[in-house]
Structure formats: structure tokens, C-alpha cells
């Protein structure tokens, strides 16, 4: 039996996807992810659970959220990632849960690698025409864009009822 997604459930997934687009645009423009985006993603998750056509193991989703948040805090303290990136990563860990967290993280990592190569190429082109060269290590990478790509792919997978038969 294939579960049908309700219009309200699809609207919640669409709203969450729109929040990821906002996060990506904001991070690309200003290297900042607004707190309201992460907060709204956290608030939308219970609505997703309540409107899901089948049972959602929400406790396991919360455990994934906690693990990603703790791991992210270590990355933040070590100056590996920014706080906004970690908050967005943790919020998406909540949505991905145990079944999709690996897909989310791998997709995010691949998108991050492509983004890093793009930023390196842009820096190289800028250095060719600039009087002052910029060290590649000093170029910030808006990793919220990569997290959003991983999150959007996760939402796409979540919207496919064939992936979650009863």
C-alpha cells in the first residue's frame, strides 16, 4: 500500500524547502544564516510529524538532531564552521532523521566540494585581474548553500511516498 501525502503535508515540506532557499541566498550574499530560518525549521518539524501519513519515529529524529548539534558545536569551537551553518545543519538533521541523515550529509559534502571549487575558481580569476591577490585560504565559503542543497535533496526524498511504504 502506497501512502498518499496530504496537501497540508506537502505544504509543510514546501515551506521548509523555501526556508532553505532563503538560508542559501542569505549565506551567499552576506555569509549569514538568519536565526528565524533555523527556528522556523525546528517549529515546522512537529507539524510535519503530526500531518505525516504514517508514523514518524520522532524520538530518533530528535536523537539525530542532538548528535549533529553536539558534533557541530565541536566544529564551531574548533573554528571549523560558523554558528549559523551548525544551526542549519542540526535543524536539517532533525528533518532527515536516522533514515536519511547519511544521504543528507553526503549530498551536503558533495555540494560543499563543488562550492569550494567554484569559490577557488572565482578567487583565481579575481587574482588575475586584481592588484592585490587574495590568499585562497582566506576566502570564506558560504556553506549554508551546500547545506541547503543537501536539505532540498532530503525534502525531495521525503516527498516521495514510494520510499516510505507502510
Burial of 47 (0-12, 13-18, 19+ CB in 10 A): middle
The pLDDT score that the predictor gives to residue 138 is: 81
For 85-142, write each residue's pLDDT tens digit.
Answer: 999 999 999 999 999 999 999 999 999 999 999 999 988 888 888 777 778 778 889 9
Rg for the chain, CA atoms, rounded: 17
pTM of the model: 0.90
Q: Is the pLDDT of residue 72 over 90?
A: yes
CA dihedral 13, 64, 101, 9 (to 10 degrees): -20
Give me the phi and psi of 5, to 5 degrees please.
-85, 135
Where along the chain do its domains lie?
7-163
Q: Is the pLDDT of residue 149 over 80?
A: yes
Amino acid at each position: 500500500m502506497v501512502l498518499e501525502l496530504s496537501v497540508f503535508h506537502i505544504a509543510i515540506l514546501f515551506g521548509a524547502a523555501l526556508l532553505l532557499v532563503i538560508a542559501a541566498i542569505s549565506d551567499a550574499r552576506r555569509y549569514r544564516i538568519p536565526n528565524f530560518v533555523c527556528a522556523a525549521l525546528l517549529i515546522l518539524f512537529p507539524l510535519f510529524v503530526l500531518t505525516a501519513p504514517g508514523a514518524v519515529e520522532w524520538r530518533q529524529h530528535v536523537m539525530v538532531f542532538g548528535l549533529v548539534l553536539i558534533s557541530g558545536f565541536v566544529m564551531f569551537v574548533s573554528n571549523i564552521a560558523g554558528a549559523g551553518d551548525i544551526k542549519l545543519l542540526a535543524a536539517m538533521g532533525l528533518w532527515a532523521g536516522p533514515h536519511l541523515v547519511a544521504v543528507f550529509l553526503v549530498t551536503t559534502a558533495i555540494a560543499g566540494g563543488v562550492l569550494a571549487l567554484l569559490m577557488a575558481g572565482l578567487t583565481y580569476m579575481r587574482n588575475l585581474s586584481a592588484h592585490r591577490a587574495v590568499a585562497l585560504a582566506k576566502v570564506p565559503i558560504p556553506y549554508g548553500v551546500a547545506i541547503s542543497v543537501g536539505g532540498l535533496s532530503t525534502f525531495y526524498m521525503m516527498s516521495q511516498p514510494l520510499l516510505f511504504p507502510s
